[in-house]
Amino acid sequence: MKTLKGKLVAGALSAVLASASIPALAADSNKPIRIPTHNWSSQVVMAHIIGGIFESLGNNVEYVPADSQGVYEAIRNGDITISHEVWQSTFGKSFYNAMEKGGLIDAGTHEASTLEELGVPSYVVENNLCPGLPDWEALKNCPEVFATADSGGKGRILEGPQSWHGDLMPVRIKALGLEDKYVVKFAGSADAIWAELASAKKEGRGIITFNWTPNFTDADGFDFIAFPPYEQGCRVEDGGDGSCGSPKGWLKKAANYKFPKTHPNAYKVFSKLSFSTKDIGQMAALVDIDKMSHEDAAKKWLADHKDVWMPFTE
């Protein structure tokens, strides 16, 4: 049995501990946290996963379809609260531009590293359809392997939608002296890329497309082409000639600068949140392989992977 003195000491001690612990954060505003959705699967699924986590904390959320370049300006001026997939190669410039103007903050980096690059399904390399791949120089010798009905006898490079990174690839192809042999066509959607990859695979046909990792194609086998290495300043927008490949990059999170004040609890969780290559591949696969809706994919992912996300809330 505890003595009175012991109880007093214990009481005093717990009072000291309580005052030494982190003060409780002020309650979050009930104004909705505005989460952008873009046009590739992992991003939309992750939007709903993060929204689901915020809702589990008692926050209100709204999903806002947004242009994937314009979103950084929208975050800067407060129209949108966060961005949860800032891919270095495609969005790094817009992210830092908005930060420099003021109003957008860096909310941390995911565990996954990224690559956004042109490439070929692995069977193209394995079956030696264009000897020397994945080295880019090999492309000089086999444009006909990648020709399509609409490519005018040149090899076709199927780029993503132009909204992602504008003329990056046409400029690169020209800078590398490949424009007489290759033509870049923009896909209308990510789904159009997956459909083309599926039909080429069925026929064992050569195909070059834009793709990225983490993605559901990581499991399938996709070989990125090794272009001349990326170096700071090598792109035209940074003063270079654009003949370099994409960086092996980071995947960041961004937020409006007021978010930590208006929603301190949600911000704390968002800044801790970090997904791996495997996590993000799973998010994409639930939609692009399992054909679930983004919303259902997010619910399933949250239910199946509490061990991954619950620690961000603790």
Residues that bind ligand TMO (CB under 6 A): 40, 87, 90, 116, 160, 164, 212
Closer residue to ligand TMO in complex, CB, 40/227:
40
What are the angstrom distances between the C-alpha of 151 and each of 120, 127, 181? 17, 23, 10
Beta strands 61-65; 222-224: pairing state: unpaired
Q: Residue of minimal CB distance from ligand TMO? A: 116
Closer residue to ligand TMO in complex, CB, 59/114:
114
Closer residue to ligand TMO in complex, CB, 164/194:
164
CB atoms within 10 A of CB 57: 13
Token duo for residue 132: 């020397």
CA distance 146 to 153: 9
CA distance 44 to 154: 35
Q: Which long-range contacts (CB under 8 A, 24 or more apart) does 170-175 make?
A: 171/236, 171/242, 172/227, 172/242, 172/243, 172/244, 172/245, 174/242, 175/241, 175/242, 175/243
Kindly give, in sequence order, each residue whose CB lies less than 8 Å from that of residue 244, ignoring residues fewer than 6 positions away.
172, 227, 228, 229, 230, 231, 234, 235
Closer residue to ligand TMO in complex, CB, 81/215:
215
Residue 157 phi/psi, 5-degree rounding, is -110, 115
| Strand partners for 106 | 254
Closer residue to ligand TMO in complex, CB, 87/216:
87
Q: Cβ 202 to ligand TMO, closest distance in Å? A: 24
Closer residue to ligand TMO in complex, CB, 28/116:
116
Q: Cβ 71 to ligand TMO, closest distance in Å? A: 11
Q: Cβ 69 to ligand TMO, closest distance in Å? A: 10
Measured at the alpha carbon of residue 189, what is the angle toward residues 184 and 195, in degrees to the nearest 5? 85
Q: Cβ 7 to ligand TMO, closest distance in Å? A: 60
Q: Cβ 85 to ligand TMO, closest distance in Å? A: 7
Closer residue to ligand TMO in complex, CB, 230/267:
230
Residue 78 phi/psi, 5-degree rounding, is 90, 0
